[in-house]
Amino acid sequence: MADASSDHTSSRRDFLKTGALSALGLGTAGLAGPAQGRSATTLDAIDAAGKAKNIIFLVTDGMSAGTLTMADLHLRRHEDRASNWIRLYEEGRVQRGLMDMASANSIVTGSAAAASAWGSGHRVYNEAVNMSEDGDEYRTILQIMRDAGKSTGLVTTTRITHATPAGFGINMPERWSEDKIAAQYLEREYDVLLGGGRRHFVPNTRTDNSNLLDDFRQKGYTVAESKTDLQEWNHKGRILGTFNDTHLPYLLDYRHTPAHQEQVPRLPAMTEAALQRLDRNRDGFLLQVEGGRVDHGAHNADTGALVYDQIEFDDTIGTVLDFAQDRDDTLVIITTDHGNANPGVNAAGDRYSDSNAMFDRIADFQYTNDWILSKLDESSTYREIQNRVETAWQFPITRDEAEILQESLRGHYEAAYRKESEPDTVLAAIQANYTSVNWLGTDHTSDYVELAALGPGSEALGGFTRNTDLFDLMVESAGVQEYAKQ
24: pLDDT strictly greater than 70: no
Q: Which strands sit side by side in the sheet containing 464-466, from one edge to the other?
A: 222-224, 239-242, 192-196, 151-159, 285-291, 54-60, 330-335, 449-454, 95-100, 464-466
Point out the least confidently predicted range of 5-14, 90-99, 149-158, 207-216: 5-14
73: pLDDT strictly greater than 50: yes
Could you give the count of Cα atoms lying within 13 Å of 188 in the half-sphere of its Cβ?
Answer: 27
Answer yes or no: are the C-beta atoms of 51 and 457 closer than 8 Å.
Answer: yes
The string of pLDDT tens digits covering residues 170-184 is 999 999 999 999 999
Q: What is the DSSP letter of 386?
A: H
Q: Chain centroid to CA 199: how far?
A: 21
The string of pLDDT tens digits covering residues 210-243 is 999 999 999 999 999 999 999 999 999 999 999 9
- Cα(464)–Cα(238) distance, rounded to whole angstroms? 37
pLDDT value of position 384? 98
pLDDT value of position 7? 40
Which segments within 292-442 are labelled E, that is strand?
Answer: 330-335, 339-340, 344-345, 437-438
User: What is 353-377 written as a DSSP string?
Assistant: TTHHHHHHGGGG--S-HHHHHTT--
Over the range 306-327, which residues count as b (16 or more CB within 10 Å of their CB) and which as e?
bbbbbbbbbbbbebbbebbeee
The H or E element spanning position 96 is: strand 95-100
Domain residue ranges in the chain: 4-342+444-485, 344-438
* Residues 392-410, mean pLDDT to the nearest whole number: 98
Q: How confident is the model at residue 419 (pLDDT cuts 50, 70, 90)?
A: confident
Answer yes or no: are the C-beta atoms of 261 and 30 closer than 8 Å.
Answer: no
Q: At what angle do helices 399-409 and 382-393 cross, to 10 degrees?
A: 110
- Cα(165)–Cα(61) distance, rounded to whole angstroms? 11
Enter the pTM of the model: 0.92
Q: Mean pLDDT, the chain, as a whole number?
A: 91
pLDDT value of position 160? 98
Percentage above 90 pLDDT, the chain: 88
62: left (phi over 0), alpha (psi -120 to 50) or beta: left
Point out the least confidently predicted range of 10-19, 315-324, 450-459: 10-19
The string of pLDDT tens digits covering residues 238-294 is 999 999 999 999 999 999 999 999 999 999 999 999 999 999 999 999 999 999 999
pLDDT value of position 485? 85
Answer yes or no: are the C-beta atoms of 320 and 271 closer than 8 Å.
Answer: yes
pLDDT value of position 50? 80
34: pLDDT strictly greater than 80: no
- Cα(243)–Cα(177) distance, rounded to whole angstroms? 20
- Cα(455)–Cα(282) distance, rounded to whole angstroms? 18
123: pLDDT strictly greater than 90: yes
The string of pLDDT tens digits covering residues 421-444 is 999 999 999 999 999 999 999 999
* Cβ-based neighbours of 399, under 8 Å, separated by 6 or more: 382, 386
* Residues 286-306, mean pLDDT to the nearest whole number: 98
The CB density around residue 230, as the number of other CB atoms within 10 Å, is 21
Nearest to 467 by CA among 32, 121, 25: 121
pLDDT value of position 486? 66
- Cα(396)–Cα(473) distance, rounded to whole angstroms? 51
Amino acid symbol at 128: A
63: pLDDT strictly greater than 80: yes
189: left (phi over 0), alpha (psi -120 to 50) or beta: left
CATH code for the domain defined by 4-342+444-485: 3.40.720.10
